[in-house]
Chain A
Amino acid sequence: DQQVKQNSPSLSVQEGRISILNCDYTNSMFDYFLWYKKYPAEGPTFLISISSIKDKNEDGRFTVFLNKSAKHLSLHIVPSQPGDSAVYFCAATFSGSARQLTFGSGTQLTVLP
């Protein structure tokens, strides 16, 4: 039973447009959510996180939105650039877990020039 789900395996977006990646979760105990980016043959790289007490966190071109009632979060990338093409993983954790991360299955983002 996947506690963190990314239902879109892939997404294509035109350069300069907004990319929106979605993630759903089922465990109400999660209190932090994270996004990681992964290029081929490299390890995942931390992008941005959000605490469950917030509904938005912004870092440059990246913004994460959290809707606790819907158990849904999204990552917005504006404007999208070809270098953003990668697999994006949503992850979640809770304080009683020693900060183990539970990952979604990932979404392949392709930004077309």
Chain B
Amino acid sequence: ILNVEQSPQSLHVQEGDSTNFTCSFPSSNFYALHWYRWETAKSPEALFVMTLNGDEKKKGRISATLNTKEGYSYLYIKGSQPEDSATYLCAPGMGGFKTIFGAGTRLFVKA
């Protein structure tokens, strides 16, 4: 059973705070890792895809890093805004051609 863990489960921050969360996955048979953002009543939206150990991606105030050897990825949000409130999902592509989603980190940003 492939186990993808995301922590924390939920996070409450104030506007302007920087925050980060973690995605852990089995390091064997790794192909790629995706991060998605899922706002309530909308479709999950792709943020990043990373494939190489040490990859770093950035999109505005959001960035992500990848460590394939130890099986984790971090997502960082700098200067959180209320519109960043959403569930952030990571999805590693593993052996067997499956993409498994973590349970997500629910971020609440208070103005």
Q: Do A and B come from one complex?
A: no
